[in-house]
Amino acid sequence: MAQAGEFSKRAFLNGRLDFSQVQALAKLIEAKSEKGAKMMAKQLKGALKDFVQSTRTALLELLASSEVLIDYAEEDLPLDLGTTMQAKLHATLEKLQGILEFSKSQSARLEGYKLCIVGKPNVGKSSFLNALLLEERALVSPIAGTTRDTIEEIISLYGSCLKIIDTAGIRHASDAIESLGIAKSLKSMQESDIILALFDLSAPLDSQDQHILELLGAQKDKIIGVIFNKDDCPQELDTQALLNALPHSLPPLKLNTKQPCLPLLKDLLKPLFEEDSPNESVILASLTQQQALEQTITHLTSAAHTLASLELELFSYHLKDALESLAQITQPYQVEELLDTLFSRFCLGK
């Protein structure tokens, strides 16, 4: 009987797949969204492998030019050779940095976005979740502090997964159990990609709202949206003052949870799920690949400094280090134990 990952392991050991393609296959098997699966399918076809090979060729050409300048320093070499080398190096660096930044930004598309619903007690968070799901998923009560734990649901949005997390109302609580729920709410905020903060249109801003604004203000790297709930009630909240106090990435919404909310959420989040651009053919899906590229960029940055000061021996040294780091992306290890661990995650035979 075939072992887990046996066929893929044979393909790798026989040179039919490189390590980047093996990792892409693992990510494809584990993909949680249609979009993530499509991204990994591109890498499985060799997009990353081809990118690494073309980058390696460019660096080898630079290394060869450097060796020529070192060995034939007294010969009549082209006057613009150094300038040409600098231009090629900077172009390569720019391309690598773009790939790295893009890869880091796409982790949410591969794994699925995490959306956290926050607000003070009784602002309508659980009602909002129920209106999104069109079912009574969360218990709703006029008693503040009813939700004492996070509630998680996954929906599909534009071909990607969206994990929605309903949290306990944030306030200063004396009850030990409620305090634990609030601590989980704060943790969910920190771990989420998107935070939707609910505020009650029918009541003026109070100290609990102010506390939430302070917490949101500290979430510098998050996508933040403001939802004004209870739009069917007389308005008491100064919405403009609140928006001025809170940097937000998404346009504010006014709603009441007696209406279906999913269409509104789809429109709100649509820019995050737009179709992939042509530049998305190459992506580093694993942390080890990203770290290898970061090391490559570090070595090439050092190489650029030494080239600018015409320290050609050091320039060649840094280029060789960059080539070694680059190779880690497609063929990082030959350790049997590591390979067994990786392929064991595959399906039987695959």
Same domain, 154 and 243: yes
Whole-number pLDDT of residue 299: 96
pLDDT of residue 289: 82
Q: What is the CATH number of the domain that holds 51?
A: 1.20.120.430
- Three-state SS for 265-309 is HHHHHHHHHCCCCHHHHCCCCCHHHHHHHHHHHHHHHHHHHHHHC
| Domain stops at, among 273, 302, 320 | 273
Determine which of 74-83, 166-175, 320-329 has the lowest per-residue pLDDT on average. 74-83
- What is the domain range of residue 124? 111-273
| pLDDT value, residue 338 | 44
263 in the same domain as 148: yes
Q: pLDDT tens for residues 79-121?
A: 566 678 889 999 999 999 998 988 887 766 666 788 888 888 8
Kindly indicate the confidence band of residue 333, based on its pLDDT and cuts at 50, 70 and 90.
Answer: very low
Q: How many domains does the chain divide into?
A: 2
Q: Are 119 and 245 found together in one domain?
A: yes
Per-residue confidence (pLDDT) for residue 11, from 0 to 100 = 59
Domain harbouring 238, CATH code: 3.40.50.300
Domain boundary among 235, 250, 273: 273
Counting every residue, how long is the chain?
350
Distance CA 312, CA 305 (A): 10
* The token pair that represents 166 in the structure block: 């309903």
40 within some domain = yes
Q: Is the pLDDT of residue 348 over 50?
A: no
